[in-house]
Chain A
């Protein structure tokens, strides 16, 4: 992924910024301009909020056949996390054994290296999750 394409979303990846609809209160992540429930009524009312970083595992997989960029990490745990605010996101779970991960496990967000653009390239950071 090119530097600008990643950099553009850094604020969200570093700080878990979501949007809350000023009309119905639904939280969306990543931030959206339009609420998928309220449509036009939500325009101009999408308020940026910080997610608490706490959540639980909704589902997960252990990746053995990894893309080139993740070759050094395999096997790794990828999961859909249900955040305390109700919204879900996809992230890795780290700092535990693969076999310890289970649906319903409590996790919290941490900032880690996500990847890099080649050996001399820019390093990308973002959220991963650890057992809470």
Chain B
């Protein structure tokens, strides 16, 4: 297998971008990434697009060819492929592209992730998001994405003594980080009271425990490491790419306080990169709900099972703490345009490793990790990046 580098990144502002269509946001991120790598259209061998549900959000399927077309690549006839794994679609698109470059099949690949969620109303959007769960045996009885995560939260509180306040601290910390990110949907700090007093969505989780509905797109350019210097002075190496699956329904697991898919993907990623969890200084994890970040930092091995809430409360996961988690603001504050999220995580880590993260820069990081999750952990994708 060939070593793979990231040589270009692009990201749109996340939020409610009513003035821009799906294709416009997708292309904007892709063109920014191409400009960053100083690529021309002729250089590109393939396109991968992470997207969860364009069919239901904008009634448009076949979006990989659409993005290639509107990026001006129709006459180049490059292979364009859409990748779907609910909220993990973006991370999975990066992984598909990584495998294509590593295998020698393609040299230069543009990986995009995009979702346009605000063209439908809130109720419709929530129903679409909940379709990542088991429709026949969870959703049909009234389970929603927030309520499934709320059941995880309640069980975590029961089994480990995690407090409601500790869970809420994830939102406080991620909003503090988001306030330093000019592309974040929410760039405003919030206090603990705001989270605890926010309207109930699914007890014990309130509005401020949930990632928002967002429009947005992100893109990265991958190429073989030995070609990377042609495009950038600061190539970032993909040290590991791993993926795992688990039961679709949460109730089919013996323990809902651990995402085994995250653990398996992480174990394989650490082995491939030849590092341990303690070597990671920065991580972007899938905080679609506050409780999800607590599970993530435990399952990735950063903290003991059951200690994630306390570690968050103690400030260990903030910028300046023992490991900086979600420096971008995470899904909570940066926004969570489903298919874009996994790619946006990689963009943030590349900015950090290049030293281009502005006010939220973490100094001297050598290893960075991204964890992208679909549904309640039926898919997990883990990437580890390192400076060249």
Q: Which A residues form the contact surface with B (CB < 8 A)?
A: 1, 5-6, 9, 28, 30, 36, 58-68, 70, 73, 75-76, 78-80, 88-92, 98, 103, 114-115, 124, 126, 128
Out of A58, A64, A78, A98, name the residue touching B143 (CB < 8 Å). Answer: A78
Knowing A80-B250, A90-B249, say if A65 contacts B201 (CB, 8 Å).
yes
- CB-defined contacts of A78 to chain B, threshold 8 Å: 141-144, 147, 151, 202
Is B275 part of the contact surface with A, judged by Cβ < 8 Å?
no
Stretch in B104-112, B123-131, B308-316 touching the partner: B123-131
Which residue on A lies nearest to B250, using beta carbons?
A80
Task: Using A58-B251, A61-B154 as known contacts, list a sample of 13 further A-B pairs with CB atoms less than 8 Å apart, ordered by residue number in A.
Answer: A58-B155, A59-B158, A60-B154, A61-B151, A63-B202, A64-B201, A65-B144, A65-B146, A78-B143, A78-B144, A90-B251, A91-B141, A103-B154
Residue of A nearest to B134 (CB): A90
Query: How many Å lie between the Cα of A73 and that of B256 in the bound state?
Result: 26
Q: Are B130 and A67 in contact (CB under 8 A)?
A: yes
Cα–Cα distance between A124 and B247 once the two chains are bound (Å) = 26
* CA–CA, A75 and B204, complex, Å: 13
B40 at the interface (CB under 8 A from A): no
Most chain B beta-carbon neighbours within 10 Å: one of A60, A62, A63, A91? A63
Given contacts A64-B200, A64-B202, A67-B123, contact A114 B140 (CB under 8 A): yes
B141's partner among A59, A98, A103, A114 (CB-CB below 8 A) is: A114
Q: Does B203 contact A (CB under 8 A)?
A: yes
Residues of B contacting A30 in the complex (Cβ-Cβ under 8 angstroms):
136-137
Cross-chain contact B126 with A115 (CB below 8 angstroms): no
Instruction: Output the least CB separation between B138 and chain A (Å).
Output: 5
Residues of A within 8 A of B146 (CB): 61, 63, 65
**Does chain A have a CB within 8 A of B384?**
no
Complex Cα distance A92/B139, Å? 11
- Indicate if the CB atoms of A61 and B147 lie closer than 8 Å: yes
Within the complex, the shortest CB–CB distance from B155 to chain A, in Å, comes to 4
Number of residue pairs A-B, CB distance < 8 angstroms: 102
Question: Given A67-B127, A73-B142, A126-B141, are A59 and B256 also a contact pair (CB < 8 Å)?
Answer: yes
- On whether the beta carbons of B141 and A92 are closer than 8 Å, the reply is yes
Question: Does B152 make an interface contact (CB < 8 A)?
Answer: yes
Interface string of B192-217 (1 = CB under 8 A from A): 00000001111111000000000000
Which residues from chain B contact A36 at a C-beta distance below 8 Å?
Answer: 247
21 A–B contact pairs at CB < 8 A? A1-B135, A1-B140, A5-B136, A30-B136, A61-B148, A61-B150, A61-B151, A61-B154, A61-B203, A61-B204, A61-B205, A65-B126, A66-B142, A67-B142, A73-B142, A78-B151, A78-B202, A80-B250, A90-B137, A91-B141, A103-B154
**With contacts A65-B146, A67-B126, A67-B127 known, is A115 near B140, CB below 8 A?**
yes
Chain A residues with Cβ below 8 Å from B126 are 65, 67
**Consensus secondary structure, chain A interface:** strand
Q: A90 contacts which of B154, B202, B250 (Cβ < 8 Å)?
A: B250
Inside 8 A of A66's CB, which chain B residues have their CB? 142, 144
Residue from B146, B249, B251 having most chain A Cβ neighbours under 10 A: B251
Q: Which single residue of chain B is at the shortest CB-CB distance from A127? A: B141
The answer to whether A70 and B142 touch (CB under 8 A), given A30-B136, A61-B150, A80-B256, is yes
**A62 engages B202 (CB within 8 Å):** yes
Residues of A within 8 A of B148 (CB): 61
In the complex, the answer to whether A64 meets B199 with C-beta atoms within 8 Å is yes
Contact A59 B151 (CB under 8 A): yes
A1–B130 alpha-carbon span in the complex (Å): 14
Closest-by-CB residue of A relative to B254 is A88
Query: Shortest beta-carbon distance, A79 to chain B, in Å?
Result: 7
Binary per-residue interface labels of chain B (238-252) against chain A in the complex, 1 for a CB within 8 Å, 0 otherwise: 000000000101111
- Min CB–CB distance A66 → chain B (angstroms): 7
* Closest CB in chain A relative to B150 CB, distance in Å: 4
Q: Is the CB of A59 within 8 A of B152?
A: yes
**Whose C-beta in chain B lies nearest to the C-beta of A89?**
B251
Docked CA distance A76–B150 (Å)? 13
Q: Which residues of B contact A76 (CB under 8 A)?
A: 142
Most buried by B among A30, A59, A68, A78: A59
B136 neighbours in A (Cβ, 8 Å)? 5, 9, 30
Given A67-B123, A79-B151, do A103 and B140 touch, yes or no (CB 8 Å)?
Answer: no
Question: Which residues of B sit under 8 angstroms from A73, Cβ to Cβ?
Answer: 142
Knowing A60-B151, A68-B123, A70-B142 touch, does A89 contact B137 (C-beta < 8 A)?
A: yes
**CA–CA, A128 and B147, complex, Å:** 16
Q: How far, in whole Å, are A79 and B146 apart by their CA atoms in the complex?
A: 13
Closest to B150 in A: A61
